[in-house]
Amino acid sequence: MFPALTEDQLAIQEAAREFATAEIEPGAMARDHSAEFPKAIIGQLGEMGFMGMMVPEVYGGSGVDALSYILALEQISYADASVAVTMSVNNSVACAPIAAFGTEAQKQKYLKPLASGAVLGGFMLTEPDAGSDAAALKCRATKVDGGWKLNGAKAWITNGGVGRYFVTMAITHPELGKKGISAFVLDADQPGVIMSKPEEKMGLRSSKTVMVTLEDAFVADDDMLGQPGDGLKVAFGGLDGGRIGIAAQALGIMQRALDESIQYAKTRHSFGKPIGEHQAIQTYLAEMHAKVEASRLLIYKAAMLKDAGKPCTLEAATAKLFSTESAVWVCDRAVQIFGGYGYSREYVVERLYRDVRVTTVYEGTSEIQRMVIARGLTK
């Protein structure tokens, strides 16, 4: 166990573990197979205060620190990474930017329902032709009486179809280039926001990710987050927190893969002994453990820096890169340890192997993390 956790942090970690074990884990495999969105679980997580963990209590949140959030996310992810990503998106990229940039009125109108779990939110930055290079986005906001009309396409939108309020980036002033991008809170509950059917994903099957078409979708003047031209600032403002969150998601998945592997290595026999007594398997377990532990330290350190109000861009990118790449490797080894059974949909490591794969891709690919890290080192 990490030696420096406060009593509050331990209590929150325990609450998340208890709920995840009793309520999330039991249906995880069935939801993976059916791709059914865990609506009731997300509702319960909202009631317990897990959907707006770092939002101050006056805005419906739980007012806890980033490390507590990370501890909870890790536990939820251990049980079901699909639930974890739904929770992470609502916390890190829907609530956080509104809490940071929103006006009092926006916080009352949008943050309260999002943080208390009454409605689910998301983040619309990526487009079919603008992923890593987010500034290349084309979605256009044109001025109309009292607000703006949005037109364009957004891709890979988590919580699309199941969420309502989305922090959305669009071009308000095309002549200003990158500085002409602004951020809004978009209410998806209107005819101009058209959600496609969810993507058929490799993993995270019960979380919903959709393509969104915006056709004259209306946002009021009061729905702009920050100033005109602040779009990328709003979008990237929460990136450190988001990256630590996805790193924690990866951590939960790989810890599970390791624990499952240890159990299996003790009980499966070959050549007259448990496979865990063959040196090759021992080597895997030892390296898996080392990667899990090292990732945990990087992640907790980044979260602790964030809580101390210190810059943590380098640390967050390092934590995300190392943890997600480690997690992919750890889950791969878990399948290897399980042999043929690791390739069966009846064993959890098969799901972990698919679920973990996206963590090196979203919230900034590993290639982008390396760029951020190198830039931080050489600046």
Partner 1 sequence: MKILVALKQVPDTETKVKVAADGRSLDPTDVKWITSPYDEYALEEAIRLKESAQAEVTVVTLGDDKGKDVLRNALALGADNAILLKGDGQGDAFAVASALAAFAKDKGFDLILAGNKGMGGDNSAVGPMLAELLGWAQANVVVKLELSGATFRAEREIEGGSEAVEGSLPAVITAQKGLNEPRYASLKGIMAAKKKTIEEADATGLPAASAWSALTLPPARPEGRKLEGDAASQAKSLFGLLRDEAKVL
Of 49, 97, 121, 122, the one binding ligand FAD by CB under 6 A: 122
Q: Nearest distance from residue 263's CB to partner 1, in Å?
A: 14
In the chain, what are the helix, strand and coil shares in percent, each to the nearest 5? 60, 15, 25
CA distance 66 to 310: 13
Contact assessment for residue 219 and residue 185, using Cβ atoms and an 8 Å cutoff = yes
Does the protein bind ligand FAD through residue 156 (CB under 6 A)? yes
Nearer to ligand FAD, 124 or 181 (CB): 124
Q: Choose one: 30-38, 271-279, 343-351, 357-365; the region binding ligand FAD (CB under 6 A).
A: 357-365
216: phi then psi, degrees, rounded to nearest 5: 55, 40
> Which option in partner 1, ligand FAD, none does residue 125 bind, with CB closer than 5 to 8 A by kind?
ligand FAD
> Which option in ligand FAD, partner 1, none does residue 15 bind, with CB closer than 5 to 8 A by kind?
partner 1
Pairing of strands 121-124, 165-171: parallel
Does the protein bind ligand FAD through residue 362 (CB under 6 A)? yes
The size of the interface with ligand FAD (CB under 6 A), counted in residues, is 20
| Residues near partner 1 (CB under 8 A) | 7-8, 11-12, 15, 18-19, 44, 47-50, 53, 57, 62-64
CA distance 114 to 202: 28
Contact assessment for residue 251 and residue 244, using Cβ atoms and an 8 Å cutoff = no
Contact assessment for residue 208 and residue 162, using Cβ atoms and an 8 Å cutoff = yes
CA distance 231 to 168: 9
Nearer to partner 1, 58 or 202 (CB): 58
Question: Rounded to a whole number, what is the distance in angstroms from the first to the last CA of the chain?
Answer: 35
Catalytic: 363?
A: yes
Selecting among 74, 260, 350, 363, the annotated active-site residue is 363
Give contact residues for ligand FAD (rule: CB under 6 A). 89, 122-126, 131-132, 156-158, 201, 204, 209, 358, 361-362, 365, 367-368
Residues labelled catalytic: 363
